[in-house]
Structure 1
Amino acid sequence: MSPMQLPPVFQEWFDRRGWSIHPHQQAMLDRADAPALLLIAPTGGGKTLSGFLPTLAELTDTPSDGLHTLYVSPLKALAADIKRNLRTPVDEMGLPIRIEDRTGDTSYTQKRRQRADPPHILLTTPESLALLTSYEDAPRMFAGLQRVIVDEIHALAESKRGDQLMLALSRLQTLAPGLRRVGLSATVEDPQAIADSLACHPDPCAILHADPGPPPDIAMLRTEEYPPWAGGGAAYAIPAVLEQVKQHKTTLIFHNTRAQAEIFFHNLWLANADDLPIGIHHGALSKEQREKVESAMVRGDLRAIVCTGSLDLGIDWGDVDLVIQIGAPKNVKRLVQRIGRANHRYNAPSKALMVPANRFEVVECVAALEAVYAHDLDGEPKGPGPRDVLCQHILIRACAGPFDADHLFAEVRTVGAYSTLSRPDFDDCLDFCATGGYALRAYDKWKRLLQKDGLWQLRDPRASRNIRMNIGTIQDTDTLNVRWKGSFASLGKIEEGFAATLTQGDTFLIGGKIVRYDRLKEMAVEVTRDAAKKPKIATFLGTKFATSTQLQARILELFRKGDWSAFPAHTAEWLDLQVRYSKLPEADRVLVESFVHNAKHHTVFYGFAGRNAQQTLGMLLTQRMEETGLDPLGFVATDYATMVWGLEPVTDPAPLFDPQHIRDEFETWLGGNAVMKKTFRHSATIAGLIERNLPQARKTGRQATFSSDILYDTLHKYDPDHLMLQITREEAMRGLVDFGRIEEMLTRTKGRVDHIVLDRISPLSAPMLLEAGRVSVSGEGRDRLFEEEAEKLMAESGLNQISPGPSKPQWRVGW
């Protein structure tokens, strides 16, 4: 490949600004002809300009008509930000280059015009690109496409959105065989895996590493008040956080969930005696409110922004000089991404502070700090490409016109995640799209494809409208708009389930405002302002992250070393007490502690498998304990342990951890669990079996749940090997129940169990008694407890002298 020279007009523009081209930017020019290229460069290192330089140089030297470069990002806001930033050099150099964005916010008129007369550079999202490939004129629009730039590729590679994007790129590669692919990222734990996903198999993808720059300036925020034993709000740290805000120009205060962000913002505002301008930003707020905060950030009008993952990615929002992470980050890669929002400049260290929300999170924060300085990013290995996404891709391809199954199969196999896809699995997906599968063949509704003259096509061309309306893999929780009474202006969204709990006069937080619920009208929650001090809290969808496997391993390694020098004195003393009264968990053994508390037998299982897996473990253990007569009453789970309480002591926990027993219990539990129906609904919506968006109106959450539950029960009864049930099981295993983490724990510990019987609560288990989210267990233990309590009450009242009659259950029910 011959190196590309920077055009003179570019060199003059760089000179006027006192800039020089970075080595990795020159390397991108030198390798502009590479079929696929992954650039890993630090935040502030000019990644985006690096990706676009070859395009701008080519369009400057050889002007052309039509679409030349497609830019894909995970966020609509990121596409709009890049358009703003890219226009600056283009306008200042006077380049005749058209740049436009196309997202869900783009008007219908502009979308139609872009298909007929595409710009030179189009900025879009995975969903909008998939929609573009579904039109009959896609071959004409993409025929001259030269380059695709995938920004923040690590964020897409971890989700089904990334799988859908790569399937769309396989289609583009067929339409434009000379297409070159570029991936950009600052946080990649496994560069080769990301490169493999970007490559058009069997052609490899080259990897370029930029100078990583100086290490970040990151530490734990020291506070006068100790962290609480449990909870996630970090209210104790608000005075110290406010002091840091005063000392810096602009501070981003990150939270892991939207509800936590709302609570913290509310408390921060109440403590803001100096009336510092602060804002809140998260995905459940209205577009207008988010844009208002974003504009204020760009202008430098805000001193602090309380936010969530909505500001994680590479948007340059002004002069941010400090990042504060509230709560343990759960994932080192996410922490590094957030740290990079501060001092968004090349070779300038980012400054960040971490604020543990409770005592155990102090340990996790220390482990995360070590990982950041060791450049040890975490990430879970990605499995084969999901088949529900493949089903949607087949339907999208059919919308664009007739296709040959052999050609489409070969095209799909060029995608890394689908490179090992077998022909029978592909044909199962094709048959599902054509007929709905064995149990649904009799229904015309799911007969969407037919074969004519050897080519597959839509049975009814009008079906393309519904298919296009349901493109995408993001599964929204069922939400309702919140708006001021008498107005159509939206404040944001709350979950349908939360709205159902509200009665007139109830108050809750949204967008940092306390509002009072008035009524539900036209599928919107109408509210008025309220000056209450203690509102209810809206429960947003915001994902509750589980601590990564690698971070859990670092915590266990800290325990093994026994060196508490990096911990505050209060945490070091707490861990010393645990060693004195019990012991600390080890990586290759399961620690089990038993003690009596409030006349109940408590057993704590330290699996360090993450919250979802520990929750699932609680279900499995209590089910097994119920079968063996231990009468469990309930359990609670955290990222590192599961605590079970009941009426009988656990004298030998080893059999409970027998791998075969756990797997058998899992099979039994999963078959009738609500998780399966929820997972089925998500996968069936992606695969096109259930349509949420219809030309008339969008289905409500309850309508979608009702129809999906009927489908699930029907298939489970009459066609248990149906493709959608196979997919549901695969998704459930690695999704909400996270059984793979349990398997990893069983493999790691190999049946080795340390059981310690204590005469008191252990220091490490004490915070679990304060945890929310307790799960009750219905069974013999609860029945027995009820009978014992009833007998005590009868004895106190003298009623136990009266014969209960021939039927004890009748007496219980009547009483």
Structure 2
Amino acid sequence: MNDQGPDNASPAQMILPQMFTDWFASRGWTIHPHQREMLDRKDAPALLLIAPTGGGKTLAGFLPTLVELADGEHTGLHTLYVSPLKALAADIKRNLRMPVDEMNLPIRIEDRTGDTSYTQKRRQRADPPHILLTTPESLALLTSYEDAPRIFKGVQRIIVDEIHALADSKRGDQLMLALSRLQTIAPDLRRVGLSATVENPQAIARELACHPDPCPILQADPGPAPDIQMLVTDEHPPWTGGGAKYAIPAVLEQVKRHKTTLIFHNTRAQAEIFFHNLWLANDDALPIGIHHGSLDRSQREKVEAAMVAGELKAIVCTGSLDLGIDWGDVDLVIQVGAPKNVKRLVQRIGRANHRYNAPSKALLVPANRFEVVECVAALEAVRAYDLDGEPKGPGPRDVLCQHILITACAGPFDVDALYQEVITVGAFAQLSRANFDACFDFCATGGYALRAYDKWKRLLQRPDGQWQLRDPRAAQRIRMNIGTIQDTETLKVKLKGNFKALGEVEEAFAATLTPGDTFLIGGQIVRYDSLKELTVQVTRDASKTPKIATFMGTKFATSTQLQARILRMFQQESWPQLPDHTADWLQLQRDISKLPEADRVLVESMYFDKRHYTCVYSFAGRNAQQTLGLLLTQRMEELGLHPMGFVATDYATLFWGLDPVTDPTTLFDVTAINDGFETWLAGNAVMKKTFRGAATIAMLIERNLPQARKSGRQATFSSDILYDTLSKYDPDHLMLQITREEALRGLVDFGRISEMMTRTAGRIDHVTLDRVSPLAAPMLLERGKVTVAGKAAERLLEDAAALLMENAGLSQLPQ
């Protein structure tokens, strides 16, 4: 066990009560060393425990609480438990009841999430349980009530589970601001963080502590290395695509051999496609379910109950099952598609054999030929326990604005004291008073351009110097809009006639539908009938090939660390760790052109099918490559090269047009790219979309109103008007500053473009070819490049692929 941090003194051992010793013995268990250590350090102001999945870290976090409450003398709230998922809180409640009931401990345990009834929430405020299990949003809401000091005055401990999943998000920033509020109400509050996958323990430990020094870190025995490898299939991965349909026979064979298999996907749409194809091939009628965030809650709960009962052989899922929920007897995890992020892969692997000192078993299924390389790089990173993670930036100011308004809901407050409270939070530790005051002024007046509107004059100063809400009725509206999770413009999907809810699809997708169109949801093919009262009405229809619902989900970009591994792999003389078909592909690329290098940009110029192609390999991630495509297309226009389009992947951007690029250094002029970016960003819809998100979090725009919820179109319309107004009359407005910051590090990933340009420092390898290169060939087959329809679609795609592969010299390689 590794103990790090400012306090390295060996704590005095606490005697475990006999009833607990007997309970462990009755189950054939012995207390793990890290559980013993957590108990001995129960009085530490903050403590981070890193323990493997199945290592009993949740019990380790709760054990001091159970011991302290065993005598029945404590009244009111003692321990808060915060998790990223409502389902995880419910799962913990179920598991925690076991020791409490079996030892007959006088402890009340309740959960409080968005699914908790209004009646139960009111009762919890009046008479809090000993242990309350909740989410960051529900905790923030609790701190907004006038009686928050009474509710939290006796709280002793807060446990933040899966802290790694919150640390890099605005939800985590909001949680830490809420903790600063609680620490003021209950100065002796002790903080505990739990995780199985932390790439930078010191950074998390600093965030968890309420002072600059990191808190102590306890690292449990990591246990045996996971049993993880690539799935062997009879058919080789295709050159392009993301469905992994080729692997379904091999996946079904694995499902038959195991008790319960989780089949993870990176997006909801991919999960739907794979589930549909898996079901069509399921000749043995194996019980298989699907689980993702766009499905109706009742459907998700039905699948979860079947998992716990051991009634399902496999569950096709997304990140909705990523975290530490103990779902039945899962003994295999399959990751379909490159994982994009090593930390996420480790977390998913941990769902299998959820027991201490039992190796997790996982298989990777690359969706296409390039993903074979990425999957091997990810396997090597997992075996080296080389986790990835981006450096955390300063605390987001839109979240701070929301926190100021939440604080005002709870009653009068001193602005100087609030600033001192906020800078105890790690992400806001360097927040200047001027930047804090700018956020405060925005909350009080709306800012210069909006001062004339009473709607945004929300705070006033009392004669005693404290601040309060100008209109107490505003508290209801603020509470209705608490949270940092951005809603997508989704519409409910219901079966016509019985109005059974199936789930949700994006509003933009629904707008493309005409009566008779079919799409997939929840593994079913449904036919669109009509749109009534913001509900998509459908009927079941299994007679057509469906359209695919464009679920929002998260479109992951490959992490910088994983990209670096791939680039290092390219520099090997040979690739014994790769399958022959992929190793031969890379060797052919090396023979015909070059393989990309980490400190250089590779640019290939090619001529094919009466078009000039330029492929730029810069390994900056999908979002950044997309942005680079927009910027370089603009440069090509300026240089008179007549570009016609581009397609971007995680590793490259392929352009096509009427004229060749003969000197790529002119494309990569730093000043021209930066100027072009500024011009493009100023007039782009990305800014308005980013503004809408930041303005919603900062509560300039309200999505939820006492009367009714705004539709996506209404919210977009009002945010667009505000954006245009501020841009014209107050271009330095706080919300526009925040919007720019968010756009740069979010949707467009310009920071990764800047990093790439710094890393390569103008070093460009330009290769002119008389054919399409092996690495570029699959990009011409990317979805959207070849448009086909009808029954001949697959044949046309096969013919297009064959022509490209032959041109690239790939037709001789194993297909």
The 4+ residue runs of structure 1 with deviation greater than 3 A are 773-776
- The residue that corresponds to 1:339 in the other structure is 349
Q: Distance in 1 between matches of 2:664 and 2:138?
A: 53
Q: 1:512 aligns with which of 502, 519, 523?
A: 523
Name the aligned partner's letter for residue 179 of structure 2: L
Give deviations 1:27-82, integer Å, cap 9, x for gaps.
10111111110000000000100000010011114630000000000000000000
Greater mean alpha carbon deviation, residues 445-454 or residues 264-273: 445-454
CA contact (8 A) 2:332 2:353 kept: yes
Residue in 1 that maps onto 2:748: 737
What is the match of residue 245 of structure 1?
255
Corresponding residue SS for 1:657 = coil
Q: How far apart in 2 are the matches of 1:775 and 1:619?
A: 20
Deviation at 1:476, TM superposition (A): 1.3
Secondary structure of 1:414's counterpart equals coil
Assess if the C-alpha contact under 8 Å between 2:271 and 2:317 holds in 1: yes
Determine the C-alpha separation between the residues in 1 that align with 2:49 and 2:543.
Answer: 51
Deviation at 1:197, TM superposition (A): 1.1
Tell me the CA shift for residue 465 of structure 1. 0.3
Answering whether residue 401 of structure 2 is matched by residue 391 of structure 1, we say: yes
- Show the counterpart of 1:463: 474
The answer for the alignment partner of 2:806 in structure 1 is none
TM-score (norm 2): 0.94
Match runs of 1:338-487 below 5 Å: 338-453=348-463, 454-487=465-498
Deviation per CA, 1:126-170, whole angstroms, max 9, x where unpaired? 000000000000000000000000000000011100000000000
- Give, as a single letter, the amino acid of the residue that structure 1 aligns with 2:113: T
SS in 1 for 2:430: coil
1:160 aligns with 2:170: yes
Report the Cα offset of residue 740 of structure 1: 0.7
Do residues 747 (structure 1) and 758 (structure 2) align?
Answer: yes
Query: Residue 595 of structure 1 contacts residue 759 of structure 1 at CA under 8 Å; is this kept in 2?
Result: yes
Structure 2 residue 545 is matched with structure 1 residue 534: yes
State the aligned residue count.
Answer: 776
SS in 2 for 1:586: coil
Q: Measure the CA separation in 1 of the matches of 2:507 and 2:559.
A: 30
Preserved CA contact (<8 Å) 1:41 1:211: yes
Q: Is 1:265 equivalent to 2:275 in the alignment?
A: yes
1:235 aligns with 2:264: no
Where do 1:643-792 residues align within 5 Å?
A: 643-773=654-784
Query: What is the letter of the counterpart of residue 518 of structure 1?
Result: D
Asked if the contact 1:256/1:543 (under 8 Å) is kept, the reply is: yes
CA distance in 1, matches of 2:267, 2:518: 20
From 572, 578, 591, the counterpart of 1:580:
591
Distance across 1 between alignment mates of 2:670 and 2:569: 27
1:597 paired residue among 579, 604, 608? 608
Write the deviation string for residues 446-502 of structure 1: whole angstroms up to 9, x where unpaired. Answer: 111111121111000000000000000000111011111123431111111111111
1:483-498 counterparts in 2 under 5 A? 483-498=494-509
CA distance in 2 between counterparts of 1:3 and 1:139 reads: 33
2:203–2:214 CA contact under 8 A, matched in 1: no
Q: How many angstroms does 1:654 deviate by?
A: 1.3
Task: Name 1:787's counterpart in structure 2.
Answer: none
Instruction: Report the CA distance between 1:656 and its aligned residue.
Output: 1.6
Aligned to 1:172: 182
Q: Distance in 1 between matches of 2:693 and 2:181?
A: 25
Match of 1:782 in 2: none
Paired residues for 1:214-229 under 5 Å: 214-229=224-239
SS of match in other structure, 1:556 = helix
Amino acid at match of 1:513: Q
2:156/2:188 contact within 8 Å kept: yes
> What secondary structure sits across from 1:242 in the alignment?
helix
Structure 2 equivalent of residue 283 of structure 1: 293
Give runs of aligned pairs for residues 626-641 of structure 1, distance below 5 A: 626-641=637-652
- Are the equivalent residues in 1 in contact too, given 2:620–2:752 (CA < 8 A)? yes
Contact 2:152 / 2:182 at 8 angstroms: preserved in 1? Answer: yes
> What residue is the counterpart of 1:15 in the other structure?
25
Partners of 1:73 and 1:156 lie apart in 2 by 9
Q: 2 CA distance for matches of 1:602 and 1:88?
A: 64
Gaps of 5+ in 2: 1-10, 788-815
SS of equivalent residue, structure 2 residue 110 = strand
How has the CA–CA distance of structure 1 residues 271 and 440 changed in structure 2, closer, same or farther, with 3 Å as cutoff? same
Tell me the secondary structure at the aligned position of residue 537 of structure 2: strand
Counterpart position of 1:29: 39
Q: What amino acid does structure 2 have at the position aligned with 1:695? A: P
Q: In structure 2, what is the Cα distance between the partners aligned to 1:124 and 1:487?
A: 34
What is the CA distance between 1:649 and its match in structure 2?
1.0
Aligned pairs for 1:49-64 (under 5 A) are 49-61=59-71, 63-64=73-74
Distance 2:372 2:669 in 1: 33
State the TM-score, normalizing by the size of structure 1: 0.94
- The AA in structure 1 aligned to 2:365 is V
Instruction: Quote the Cα distance in structure 2 between the aligned partners of 1:422 and 1:247.
Output: 59
- Deviation per CA, 1:175-230, whole angstroms, max 9, x where unpaired? 00000000000000000111111111246411110000000000001111111111
What SS is found at the alignment partner of 2:316? strand
Please name the residue that 2:791 is paired with: none
Aligned to 1:557: 568
Amino acid corresponding to residue 288 of structure 2 in structure 1: I
User: Within 2, Cα distance between the matches of 1:73 and 1:738?
Assistant: 28
SS at the partner of 2:576? coil
The structural deviation recorded for 1:18 is 0.9
Shift of residue 526, structure 1, vs aligned partner: 1.1
> 2: CA distance between counterparts of 1:545 and 1:202?
32
Matched residue, 2:102: 92
The answer as to whether partners of 1:7 and 1:60 remain within 8 angstroms in 2 is no
| RMSD after superposition | 1.1
2: CA distance between counterparts of 1:283 and 1:429? 33
Distance apart, 1:528 and its partner CA: 1.1
What secondary structure does 1:184 align onto? strand
1:476, 1:565 → 2: CA distance?
Answer: 46
Q: Deviations over 1:559-595 (max 9, x none)?
A: 0123311111110111111011001000010000001
SS for the counterpart of 2:484 is: coil
| Contact residue 634 and residue 774 of structure 1 kept, 8 A | no
CA contact (8 A) 2:264 2:335 kept: yes
Q: Following TM superposition, by how much is the alpha carbon of 1:658 offset from its aligned partner in structure 2, in angstroms?
A: 2.5
Task: Give the AA of the match of 1:644.
Answer: F
Confirm or deny: 8 A CA contact 1:157 1:163 kept in the other structure: yes
Q: Does 1:274 align with 2:274?
A: no
Partner Cα distance (2:575, 2:544) in 1: 40
Q: Secondary structure at the match of 1:644?
A: strand
Distance in 1 between residues matched to 2:280 and 2:764, nearest whole Å: 49
Give 1:773 shift.
4.5
Give SS of 1:509's match: strand
**Residue aligning to 1:193:** 203
Aligned counterparts of 1:405 and 1:127: Cα–Cα separation in 2 = 23
CA contact (8 A) 1:129 1:168 kept: yes
Q: Quick check: 2:207–2:214 contact (8 Å CA) kept in 1?
A: no
8 Å CA contact 1:635–1:775 kept in 2: the answer is no
- 1:636/1:775 contact within 8 Å kept: no
Kindly indicate whether the alpha-carbon contact (under 8 Å) linking 1:34 and 1:180 is maintained by their aligned counterparts in 2. yes
- Secondary structure at the aligned position of 1:321 is classed as strand
In structure 1, give the amino acid aligned to 2:676. Answer: E
1:659 corresponds to which letter in structure 2?
V
Amino acid across the alignment from 2:425: V
CA contact (8 A) 1:81 1:315 kept: yes
Counterpart for residue 629 of structure 2: 618
Report the counterpart of residue 808 of structure 1 in structure 2: none
Identical-residue share of aligned pairs (%): 80
Report the Cα offset of residue 533 of structure 1. 4.2
3-state SS, counterpart of residue 633 of structure 1: strand
**3-state SS of 2:602 partner:** strand
**In the aligned structure 2, how far is the partner of 1:34 from the partner of 1:658?**
54
Q: Deviations over 1:293-317 (max 9, x none)?
A: 0000001000000000000000000
The alpha-carbon deviation at position 4 of structure 1 amounts to 2.2
